[in-house]
Amino acid sequence: MSTQVKFKVADLSLAEAGRRRIKWAESRMPVMMALRRRYEAERPFIGAKIAGCLHVTKETAVLVRTLVAAGAEVRWSGCNPLSTQDDVAAALAAEGTSIFAWHGMNTDEFYWCIDRTLDFEPTLTLDDGADLIFTVHHKHPELAARMVGGTEETTTGVHRLRAMAADGKLLYPVIAVNDAETKWDFDNVYGTGQSSLDGILRATSVLVAGKNFVVAGFGHCGRGVAMRAAGLGANTIVTEVKPTAALRARLEGDQVMTMDEAAPIGDIFITATGMKDVIRGRHFEQMRDGAVVCNTGHYDCELNLDELAEISTGKRVVRPNNEEYTLKNGHKVFVLAQGRLVNLAAAEGHPSEVMDMSFANQFLALLKLHREGQGMEHLVHELPPEQDQEIANIKLETMGIRIDELTPEQLAYATDYSAGT
Ligand SMILES: NC(=O)c1ccc[n+]([C@@H]2O[C@H](COP(=O)([O-])OP(=O)(O)OC[C@H]3O[C@@H](n4cnc5c(N)ncnc54)[C@H](O)[C@@H]3O)[C@@H](O)[C@H]2O)c1
């Protein structure tokens, strides 16, 4: 394999702007900085070659720098064609990271970048959406033999890897970073909640108050988005396929209905399901003139834009990340960020404070695999729950928050099965 290409980014002259942005993130990621201070002397990742495929944002740069400081060799690509922050990619390239990422790449270029991260025959893979690990399995299975493990950052990737493991097809162990409490219950909820609204506002600058705001999927991400839209004064409407999730949404105060019922009354639509074809031609056809539609799930297939194109007479870009489709019925529908994750394509992704915990989980999961991966079964593993408490504790400390501790008597009471009324 060729190891000639060291990096490929849009414009190296953006490096200084990228450095400033990364510095800003570092000032808001105290857990990551504590890990960096702790492990830069010990360098436990010596010998580890980490191929990463995850959105190239300022927070990701903090993770990359921390892995490198802890002794790892790293090669990186973005995990979505529209989510790379070009200045951050330039800053990483300028400081010697092998990074292959630029904003607006096409699908062939996307996989070319992934291939380049495999050129150095990695020992660990880090994924957000499983494209890298799938490339290893489908295109370069010979690399799996020396791989000690992989991590997966997001819900959609974890689902697919679990399916592979169930079929006995997984060639090395994977840790589901997504499923850690300090990831899933914070990043997906508060991170996606705030940053998706940020993306919608940057792409449209519409008033959210008073709008019918339709959220498809009331899982971790959808719950966060609905909560923040309600906070801005929207009338939130949730569509679901899971009865308990639908019930939870109703009791949280959202209206619940089918997408067919929501389509003609919604002003703003966002999908957060991890499922394809959630909004399709027949829904677009029913929408009000001026409706805004976007997705914050991992893949763009949640919106069926091919069917939208079929019922449209044309489209044009009206603002950055905002395309106006004119339907044959005369209505206009505005699609944000080409149906890609609106929070990353139209805004900056999750705030640094929340990625601090997600990436602390990534760092510790990779360290566990580097040390113990050889002996682990080729399954999707979870992180130990004690790690969540440790990460949350550091986070609380850095926020200046103290909490109570159970007394010895209370600890004994918790397991005392002789006590009654
Ligand atoms: N934008 C981001 O930065 C970001 C961050 C984290 C996760 N994600 C992605 O967002 C998606 C959702 O993640 P999550 O953690 O909320 O998953 P989740 O499993 O907690 O929730 C998904 C919900 O969608 C519902 N659903 C499935 N199909 C549906 C349909 N056709 N109509 C309506 N509801 C449907 C499910 O019942 C479930 O309640 C995934 O693709 C995940 O990878 C994106």
For the stretch 284-311, pLDDT in tens is 999 999 999 999 999 999 999 999 999 9
Half-sphere exposure of 335 (CA within 13 A, CB side): 24
Per-residue pLDDT, averaged over 175-183, amounts to 96
Whether the pLDDT of residue 26 is over 50: the answer is yes
Order of strands across the sheet that contains 124-127: 98-100, 73-77, 49-53, 124-127, 149-152, 174-176, 380-381
Q: Report percent pLDDT > 70 for the chain.
A: 99
pLDDT at res. 418: 87
Look up residue 322 and give its amino acid: N
Spatial contact of 124 and 371, defined as CB atoms under 8 Å apart: no
Per-residue pLDDT, averaged over 63-79, amounts to 98
Whether the pLDDT of residue 2 is over 60: the answer is no
pLDDT at res. 333: 98
pLDDT digits 0-9 by tens, 191-217: 999 999 999 999 999 999 999 999 999
Helix or strand run (H / E) with residue 47:
none
pLDDT at res. 1: 45
Per-residue pLDDT, averaged over 232-237, amounts to 98
* pLDDT band with cut points at 50, 70 and 90 for residue 102: very high
CB of 183 shorter than 6 A to ligand 1: no
CB of 341 shorter than 6 A to ligand 1: yes
Q: Measured in angstroms, how far is the CA atom of residue 178 from the centroid of ligand 1?
A: 12
Whether the pLDDT of residue 391 is over 80: the answer is yes
Q: Which residue has the tokens 């009865």?
A: 243
pLDDT digits 0-9 by tens, 317-364: 999 999 999 999 999 999 999 999 999 999 999 999 999 999 999 999
CB of 192 shorter than 6 A to ligand 1: yes
Separation of alpha carbons 212 and 233, rounded Å: 10
Cα 84 to Cα 37, 44, 78, 128, 355, distances in angstroms = 27, 29, 6, 13, 16
**pTM (2 d.p.):** 0.93
* pLDDT band with cut points at 50, 70 and 90 for residue 5: confident
Per-residue pLDDT, averaged over 81-95, amounts to 97
Average pLDDT, the chain: 96
CB of 220 shorter than 6 A to ligand 1: yes
CB of 103 shorter than 6 A to ligand 1: no
Q: Measured in angstroms, how far is the CA atom of residue 143 from the centroid of ligand 1?
A: 31
CB of 31 shorter than 6 A to ligand 1: no
CB of 295 shorter than 6 A to ligand 1: no
Which residues does 172 contact at the CB level (< 8 Å), separation at least 6?
A: 144, 147, 148, 149, 150, 373, 378
Spatial contact of 50 and 67, defined as CB atoms under 8 Å apart: yes
Look up residue 42 and give its amino acid: E
* The two three-digit tokens of residue 332, written as one number: 């206009």
pLDDT at res. 419: 72
Spatial contact of 239 and 295, defined as CB atoms under 8 Å apart: no
* The two three-digit tokens of residue 267, written as one number: 């002003």
Q: Which atom of ligand 1 is nearest to the CA of 274?
A: 41
Q: Which atom of ligand 1 is nearest to the CA of 216?
A: 33
pLDDT at res. 420: 75
Whether the pLDDT of residue 167 is over 60: the answer is yes
pLDDT at res. 4: 57
Which residues does 396 contact at the CB level (< 8 Å), separation at least 6?
A: 402, 403
Alpha helix (H) residue ranges in 82-219: 86-94, 107-117, 131-139, 155-166, 181-183, 192-204
Whether the pLDDT of residue 3 is over 70: the answer is no
Is residue 126 helix, strand or coil?
Answer: strand
CB of 154 shorter than 6 A to ligand 1: yes
